[in-house]
Amino acid sequence: MENAMFPLSMARPGEKVRIATVRAGASMQERLLSMGINVDDVVKVEQLQGRGAVVISKDEQKYGLGGGMAQKIFVVKEQ
């Protein structure tokens, strides 16, 4: 099952993943866009925190995402 989608909250620290889709409403999608996070971006998982929260990095910037948000962002492993 190569390149299967899974929630960002299930990624491992140190893993690089590509954002495949965001299964959320318009307000969350707008929030991600305002942070500079888009579908097809490659991000690195820096650390996992309690309740599915995750810290990711993109272009030398770090972003903290809550567990609810990370559950709605589906990613694939980047080769």
Q: What is the CATH number of domain 6-77?
A: 2.30.30.90
Residue among 41, 78, 43 at smallest CA distance from 63: 43
* HSE-up of residue 79 (Cα within 13 Å, Cβ side): 3
> Could you tell me the pTM of the whole model?
0.92
**Rg of the Cα atoms in the chain:** 11
Lowest mean pLDDT among 13-17, 50-54, 74-78: 50-54
Strand order in the sheet with 73-77: 6-7, 73-77, 16-22, 42-48, 54-58, 61-65
Secondary structure element (H or E) that encloses residue 29, with its range: helix 26-35
> What does the pLDDT read at residue 43?
98
For residue 1, pLDDT over 60 is answered with no
Domain residue ranges in the chain? 6-77
